[in-house]
Structure 1
């Protein structure tokens, strides 16, 4: 397997239940299937506090054909998590996983004493994974690919960080980008945002590999029949911070007041919703009986519920300017071949992609537009007017994990070849 040995660092990996963990596990499984020999350093999930969600199915499905070395997290991680919630200005940078850097580097040194690798691959978030890659690059000069996904120092949602902490983020990011041989993003808009503050010649390091969906998961799911007079809209995943259901609930309130709220609607929010009781009370106060909040479920169960949807709902945070975030949830939704309703900034990556599909979208806070979209979707659904299959397939195939990993391994090969 000459030229295809990877040393990978990713805190996030199954059985951890989260978007980054799933995407990393999915990519590594496909790389291994394509002949790459991957050794992965990841956190020992048994060392984590109990509030870290885990799912054994994810481990069974994605931890295949590559070696995983588990490095325990130091026992004071939970204390740092508490500090970050209560006194964020005193939290370590770039994240609490910075306490994991030294134990991993000690493991790396032991591995490199008896093994050679053609390249190092680090996955952030957490960003501390890239600090590990930076030290490996400085000490051993192995070709290094840093996978960013989202923006780092340019993230507009760092509301609670001090100016000093933001400056630290900028310093860390610059050091990583300067040293890395390649920096991978999930869309070109994020790459442009990050690299606009650096020398133009650095931009050659930026490459794009989208998130990927795993169509093999469909084999675990039951098919659902069309239901006359019922329109089921489902949102999967957690809602917190600026990502809230308030916009669509306000739209339902408008429809209720205008006598246009059809009781055949069935809107489900699956996952943890911050201030959930407040939203339930809002629905009761306005006589909205078509909304249901469900807790986080095991991964396969959540997929089965998503598969039962007539329309899948995506909710993003509002943005004052163009949004560069491409949530992996949107890509996962593609697997189901269902219409997608997007509550997302009108100027952004998600809106552009939904336009390619021909799916409706609205600013998350535009309740009138959201109400109009709900009425339009109801009419199309009951007339069976969702005819999008040809356009859908041509766009969605770019996000199949086999296709995206094929792009990724070509880039890895180029880095190794120098």
Structure 2
């Protein structure tokens, strides 16, 4: 068994600002969990502002500017902005990535070259959104590959997404070649989801023997945070926080909640549905409900406030795509929803990581477009909530709390370190 305090980990990530994306939130929680387990953690980040994470050495990889790729990237952006000429399709189909991407990657490489591989026991590259700049950078440093855990939060490239998100991105061929190199050269491949690991191994067989499932972590930063003023205390509060991207339509949820209100007269006076976060794809749909006081829509709150909302909710929502039968994703919020120990209403495809974890016997799950089933589940939850003392209103899934715990992450990291020894 390795001693954590003697193990040095280097984490390379795009951003450590949890306010800029759900991916950054998950990555910061991951880093904090490593620190909490006693590892010595150095973080190289490309946030472009000086940020710190308590307990870690955080090093900003500064953007290089005295080079050709930076100049070309600036010219491309200026021409596109002033003349409306979009060169990105041609350039990315030719080179796979933008000039800015290449400059960002090289900026990270230059920072990495200031460190010695022998000073670290494991190098972890973290991704967010469609950005795998840290992975691209580490590929340029062959000596680092033997200690490299490439963490992959979502399918990549975009042509490898399941329905309904499938489309062919710019530079698809080159991006595929890039990720084949990641699969070939990384020592370990980390995934937040078992289904995602299997899904990606279908495209890149090299991942199959290298895969390690490390679920998203819980970041408890809600102490001293006030709830937003729109939140209704002592009510039956059904909360969704986060981005409702295209494909994650809330139509079935909205109709289901309306049916629930119509079927439970008493509930109309004390039940509220909160959709908190960006939802521009569904502005017209949501406008049909905004005049009813039980529907509360808000464009977004701070990360800490979103965690506080989940803590105070009666029921937390996980909303996935409705027009698909497969979802390999593990929503980053699930770790927190499990840890705050409130019932979860999962609107997920029948074959999904969320359902795999909750189990077939978990009754509060439905496909996202089944409004009648959603209404029935909400009615059951409401009646149970009415007859349950507040201190007893719990999800009560210690198995999932163990799975999302820092102790489980520590176990997975120790297994990797032992395999590397």
TM-score normalized by structure 2? 0.80
Matches within 5 A, 1:358-369: 358-369=362-373
Distance of 2:315 and 2:409 partners within structure 1 = 28
Q: Is 2:236–2:271's contact at 8 Å kept on the other side of the alignment?
A: yes
Mapped pair 1:294 → 2:298: yes
Mapped pair 1:176 → 2:182: yes
Match of 1:12 in 2: 15
- Give unpaired runs (5+ residues) of structure 1: 48-58
Select the residue among 187, 190, 200 that pairs with 2:196. Answer: 190
How much does 1:111 deviate? Answer: 3.0
Identify if the C-alpha distance between structure 1 residues 321 and 295 changes in structure 2 by more than 3 Å, giving closer, same or farther: closer
Aligned length: 393
Select the residue among 348, 351, 355 that pairs with 1:351. Answer: 355
TM-score normalized by structure 1? 0.81
Select the residue among 59, 63, 69 that pairs with 2:60. Answer: 69
How much does 1:160 deviate? Answer: 4.3
How much does 1:182 deviate? Answer: 0.6
The alignment yields a C-alpha RMSD, in angstroms, of: 3.6
Select the residue among 375, 395, 401 that pairs with 1:396. Answer: 401
How much does 1:310 deviate? Answer: 0.8
Q: Is 2:342–2:395's contact at 8 Å kept on the other side of the alignment?
A: no
Match of 1:237 in 2: 242
Distance of 2:320 and 2:395 partners within structure 1 = 27
Distance of 1:282 and 1:87 partners within structure 2 = 40
Match of 2:255 in 1: 250
Q: Is 1:234–1:268's contact at 8 Å kept on the other side of the alignment?
A: yes
Q: Is 2:33–2:217's contact at 8 Å kept on the other side of the alignment?
A: no
Q: Helix, strand or coil: the match of 2:381?
A: helix
1:354-377 deviation digits (Å, cap 9, x = unpaired): 337835011111111112112222
Distance of 1:408 and 1:258 partners within structure 2 = 47
How much does 1:198 deviate? Answer: 4.3
Distance of 2:5 and 2:225 partners within structure 1 = 38
Match of 1:274 in 2: 280
Distance of 1:130 and 1:152 partners within structure 2 = 12
Q: Is 2:19–2:303's contact at 8 Å kept on the other side of the alignment?
A: no
Match of 1:161 in 2: 168
Greater Cα offset, 88-97 or 325-334: 88-97
Mapped pair 1:38 → 2:45: no
Q: Helix, strand or coil: the match of 1:217?
A: coil
Q: Is 1:130–1:146's contact at 8 Å kept on the other side of the alignment?
A: yes
How much does 1:299 deviate? Answer: 2.1
Mapped pair 1:407 → 2:398: no
Identify if the C-alpha distance between structure 1 residues 222 and 166 changes in structure 2 by more than 3 Å, giving closer, same or farther: same
Q: Is 1:356–1:395's contact at 8 Å kept on the other side of the alignment?
A: no
Match of 1:51 in 2: none
Identify if the C-alpha distance between structure 1 residues 327 and 130 changes in structure 2 by more than 3 Å, giving closer, same or farther: same
Match of 1:52 in 2: none
1:160-180 deviation digits (Å, cap 9, x = unpaired): 435x73333322211101111
Distance of 1:383 and 1:244 partners within structure 2 = 32
Distance of 1:187 and 1:358 partners within structure 2 = 19
Identify if the C-alpha distance between structure 1 residues 357 and 88 changes in structure 2 by more than 3 Å, giving closer, same or farther: farther
Identify if the C-alpha distance between structure 1 residues 416 and 372 changes in structure 2 by more than 3 Å, giving closer, same or farther: same
